[in-house]
Amino acid sequence: MTLELNAVAGPLAVHGSKPECLTEIFRDEVNLSVWQREPSSDCMAFARHFACEIGKFERFLVQEKDGAIEELLPAWALKLPGAEAWLADVREVIAMYRCLFEPAAVGVRLHVLADTMCPRFHTDRVPARLLVTYFGQGTEWLAESEVIRAEAPGPLPDQQATGAQVQVVPTGAVALLKGEAWIGNEGRGLVHRSPAPGDTPRLVLGLDWLA
C-alpha cells in the first residue's frame, strides 16, 4: 500500500491506493484519510444518469445492522442500468465504515445537489464523517498550512485560501473526515467545504457515526 502524507505542523492528510489507508484515521495526528479508487464503470454511469435525471434530491436513512439500501433511491431509479452496481458499492462502503468504527447506528445520507450545500469552509461537529462523491466535483479541503484556526474556542475564522491552495477529494474516492467531536480532536477538525456550483449536479453519499 502506497501512502502519501500532506504534512505540516498540525493535523495530517493521508492518501492511499488501498482501502487499508482508511485505518490511518485512528492516528492522533491524522484528520483526513482518502482511499483513491475508481468504482466500476457501471456504478459511475448510473451515478451520472441518476444525478442528471433527478437534478435535486435528498434522502436520509438510519441503519442499524444491515438495512435495505434500496430505500435510498426512488423506485424508478432502481430500474436504471447500473443501479445494482451502484447499490453494491454503497453496501461495501457502509460495511467498511461499520468495520472501522463499530457504530450502533449509521446515518446514511444521499444528496443530489444543483447548488452548493456548504459553501463556507468549516469543520464538522461529528467524530468521523465518510463522503463519496459519485458524480461531479468532490469535496474541497485545506491542508493545515493554509488553515486559519481560532486562538480560543469559538467559530472557525473565515479562510483566505484560494486557487491552488484549495485541494479536492477525487470523484469516486472514499474520504474519512475527522471532526471536532472525535475525542482529543477539538479545534483540529478537517477544514472543508462544498465546491462551487457547476454545470451539472453532484451526487454525494455521506455516512455519520450516530451511536
* 161-207: pLDDT as tens digits: 888 999 999 999 999 999 999 999 998 999 999 998 778 899 999 99
CATH number, domain containing residue 80: 2.60.120.330
Q: For residue 59, list its beta bridge partners.
A: 110
3-class secondary structure, 209:
strand
State the cell numbers at 182: 472525535
> What is the value of pTM for the model shown?
0.92
Residue recorded with cell 449509521: 106
Question: Is residue 60 in some structural domain?
Answer: yes
State the cell numbers at 101: 468504527
Sorted by sequence, the CB contacts under 8 Å of residue 115 that are 6+ apart come out as 197
Q: How many CA atoms, within 13 angstroms, populate the side-chain half-sphere of residue 97? A: 32
Averaged pLDDT for residues 114-131:
86
Question: Is residue 171 in some structural domain?
Answer: yes
Residue 119, CA distances (Å) to 148, 156, 183 in order: 17, 14, 26
If one counts the domains in the chain, the total is 1
Question: Is residue 57 in some structural domain?
Answer: yes
Question: Is residue 21 in some structural domain?
Answer: yes
Name which residue leads in pLDDT, 7 or 84: 84
Q: What is the pLDDT of residue 120?
A: 87
Question: Is residue 11 in some structural domain?
Answer: yes
